[in-house]
Structure 1
Amino acid sequence: MSFKKLNPQILEALETNNFEAPTPLQKKALPIIKGGANLFCIGSKGSGKTTAIIISVMQKLKCKPEGDAPRALILVETKADALNLKEAFEKFIKPRTIRIYTAYDEQTLDQQREEIYYGQDILIATPKRLNKLYLMNSLDLSQLKLYILEDAEFAEKGLYFAAINRIPESINKCQYLVFAETLSARLKRFEDTFMYRAQTIKVK
């Protein structure tokens, strides 16, 4: 099975980066995500979760910029995780197309507020910094289409867990995706707050 029914820019990037066929996880996850369902996507390291995130975001955003408010929000644990994910995205992004921004604690809040205000399509953030921006009313979530947790085990921590649950309170309609190596009882609790009617796939 090859990749199909994707935006031509994604197909071109997959070919350029030598992705010949989807992994078993991607075969299961991508159709569900494309269909709009909330999803717990559980797979071991190397199963293709990060690429599944990138394909899903690029497809949902039609590989083009639009408006000023973020349309995809991805939470990661650390600055290094944010920068690594941005680098992975950039292999799929043509110059002057999708706008992508990372927010983490080492930057100044005023700088981040200004740069997000001037227009970003994808926002990759650590929970602590995202929470500060949120509490300062510095995030316009009205256009958000995807709310994603990458390597979501960090979300089990008490402070992070509360912050992650708080953000959806200001989101009208959105698709929620959680990617992790294991689905703990604590992560499963997101079903009670924002992961309504979520499907679950597990691939080793």
Structure 2
Amino acid sequence: MTTFAELGLSPSILKALEKTNLKTPTPIQAQAIPHIMKGADLMGLAQTGTGKTAAFGLPLLHRILDLGHPPGPKHVRALILAPTRELIIQIKDNLEVFTKGTAVKVTMVVGGASVLKQAQALSRGTDVLVATPGRLIDHLEQGNVSLEKCGYLVLDEADHMLDMGFIHSLRKIAKHIPQRRQTLLFSATMPKDIEEIADTYLRNPVRVQVSPPGKPAEKIAQGVHYIPMGDKAKLLEDYLKKHPTEQALVFGRTKHGSEKLMKLLVSWGFKAGSIHGNKSQNQRERTLAEFKSGELDILVATDVAARGIDIPTVRHVYNYDMPNVPENYVHRIGRTARAGAEGTAVAFCSPAEMDELKAVEKLLKKPIPVLGGAPWAADIVAAAPKPGQNRGQNRGQRPGGQKKGSQPPAAKPAHARPAPKPGARLQGARPQAGKPGGGGQAPRRDGARPKPRQA
């Protein structure tokens, strides 16, 4: 059996590891660490929950410790890029555990936090900078940080960075880093674009793969329920009541829908919180801390949290809405069965989501076991409104409010509707300031134009 000591890590790092749950290296750690210690560029392919942060973090910190002197003002020795704030926080927390008792300094910059405070921290220089691409570019443009002496670049969750459109940001950032550097790329899936990134930024990389890309952890028991959209909330309630003492993650498609579902669960007596793009950085950090501490049993989230939650106590993942990107299914369910534990993942599939389910099963190269219902017939799928249409449905009803088995009412032609009387106001319309009798949207008092409602 391989141990961390046998991998050649420094005594100070080994001492820090003794106080963690990491006793023996995972397969990705055992394979990647020796190559990184030798200075090779590396492409690591592994599913979520396999220990990728330690796979690149431990050897990176080992090499930095060998330098023996602090970085200069504004300078960075190693840069780690990741796509989301949650993942950045997770990486920073892990690295700080590994560096406890050493002089290595780890700094984090993400959106949604004070630029001034980040600039002050960067002005003192840092050994390791963990950053989201967008916020890092802000600091580079303002001259708050220099990457001219950066010798290490790590791209974590590179496939998700591509999904979020960060390829242009990566090109901008790479121009600031010396070409003579060690570059490490880690990804859970391997689309063609990742190969192109590897060819562009890595030099003769060693390729390490511990499981086929897109394959979820083997200890996750998966299943799918075919159920009308309006019945999903009641089914979720039934599942949550079966495991009242176990933590669960519920994934929704939209920010508004996830928030609405969370409030519904709270009204039913569940200890639930939510994380999505409409929450501030402080709100997201506070909710995650409450979930980690056990104050919350249920966390409702959008895909912003599909990568970046490393909580071993999560036993159940519910795909309340099927993901638009099939790879996100793997990342979602990878939030359970972490660190060798077991977990369950249940997907709820409405008629409008059959295409998403088929895409997921194609990625997995096998069907997901059916727990309830039966695959929707083609005519039902064709008639179903796509996700986002007919919002505001109630429990027990199909989208749009019609009852099960009924047909949606036919729309009246425009010429058949009675014309409003002259000067009459439409029911429910609010007059716009300065336009008596108008039906437009009233301007805000601060003079700003109202923002369109987001999904």
Is TM more than 0.5 here?
yes
- Map Cα deviations across residues 18-57 of structure 1 (whole Å, 9 max, x no partner): 4222112112111111111111101112222111122022
% identity of equivalent residues: 27
CA distance in 2, matches of 1:203, 1:96: 31
Matched, 1:74 2:80: yes
- Superposition CA RMSD, Å: 1.9
- Map Cα deviations across residues 59-113 of structure 1 (whole Å, 9 max, x no partner): 1211766222111111112222211211111211225621111101122333322
CA distance in 1, matches of 2:122, 2:160: 24
CA distance in 2, matches of 1:129, 1:65: 27
The structure 1 residue matched to 2:104, chosen from 98, 106, 109, is 98
Higher RCO (CA < 8 A, seq sep 6+): 1
**1:29-68 to 2 correspondences below 5 Å:** 29-62=32-65, 66-68=70-72
User: What secondary structure, in the 3-state scheme, does the structure 1 residue paired with 2:201 have?
Assistant: coil
| Closer/same/farther in 2, CA of residues 139 and 36 from structure 1, 3 Å limit | same
The structure 1 residue matched to 2:152, chosen from 146, 154, 162, is 146
Q: In the alignment, which residue of structure 2 is the partner of 1:184? A: 191
CA positional deviation for 1:9: 0.9
Q: In the alignment, which residue of structure 2 is the partner of 1:194? A: 201
CA distance in 1, matches of 2:195, 2:29: 21
User: What secondary structure, in the 3-state scheme, does the structure 1 residue paired with 2:165 have?
Assistant: helix
Structure 1 letter corresponding to 2:183 = Y
Matched, 1:130 2:136: yes
CA positional deviation for 1:192: 3.5
Larger radius of gyration: 2
- Alignment length (residue pairs): 204
Q: In the alignment, which residue of structure 1 is the partner of 2:123? A: 117
CA distance in 2, matches of 1:191, 1:181: 14
CA distance in 2, matches of 1:192, 1:93: 32
Kept in 2, the 8 Å contact 1:37–1:199? The answer is: yes
Structure 2 letter corresponding to 1:61 = I
**1:150-189 to 2 correspondences below 5 Å:** 150-157=156-163, 159-172=165-178, 173-189=180-196
Kept in 2, the 8 Å contact 1:191–1:197? The answer is: no
CA distance in 2, matches of 1:145, 1:48: 23
CA distance in 2, matches of 1:161, 1:149: 11
| Closer/same/farther in 2, CA of residues 158 and 44 from structure 1, 3 Å limit | closer
CA positional deviation for 1:114: 2.5
Kept in 2, the 8 Å contact 1:65–1:121? The answer is: no
The gaps in structure 1 that reach 5 residues or longer are none
